[in-house]
Amino acid sequence: RRLVETLREKGITDLAVLRAFDLTPRHLFVPTGVAHRAYEDAALPIGSGQTISQPSVHARYLQTLGLTGVERVLEIGTGSGYQTVLLAHLAAQVFSIERIGALLDRARDAVRASGVHNVTLMVGDGTRGWAAHAPYDAILVSAAAPDVPEPLLSQLAEGGRLVIPVGGTETQTLRVITRRGDTFEQSD
């Protein structure tokens, strides 16, 4: 509950997003060595040289997507599975791709322990998307890319939104792309 209050203080106003955080036990998604820090608004190591993002970053992404509960969502970068479960509380179906098999194995266990049942996971290259389940109403990319991968744009449904950090290691911009027919509206 303190984490939810911290998110409110940082400008998160979407009640569905705040509820998703309240329903998702973050300690299930971090290694036991850092579990005592699970509810801090901080990024934490999860192994394989990766981190679980700070909750306020997840919250900003989710609030930006503006999900209503009926969407089919593609997540690129399962990581610990924490954001995957947050999405599962906000959308009808979540498909998530992770490139590191060991991370996906741990995420699968944590997702199962969280009790959600509307998630499908796969090991693979997220820049290619997951065409078998396209089109998606929303695509959320967890890690920065130098450019927006074309396959992700082609897998967006009409009116679908893609949220992706674009840039390098020094500077990144959160880009929101909305499909309108054959064109894509962008905002940063």
| Tokens coding 103 | 């991370």
Q: Measuring CA to CA, which residue among 78, 71, 182 is closest to residue 118?
A: 71
Question: Rounded CA gap, 20 and 23, in Å?
Answer: 5
Alpha helices by DSSP H, the chain: 2-9, 15-23, 55-65, 82-88, 101-114, 150-154
| Tokens coding 126 | 């997220």
DSSP 90: T
Identify whether the C-beta of residue 78 lies closer than 8 Å to the C-beta of residue 95.
Answer: no
Pick the catalytic residue from 48, 53, 80, 114: 53
3-state SS assignment for residue 175 = strand
Question: Does residue 154 carry a catalytic annotation?
Answer: no
Residues marked as catalytic: 53
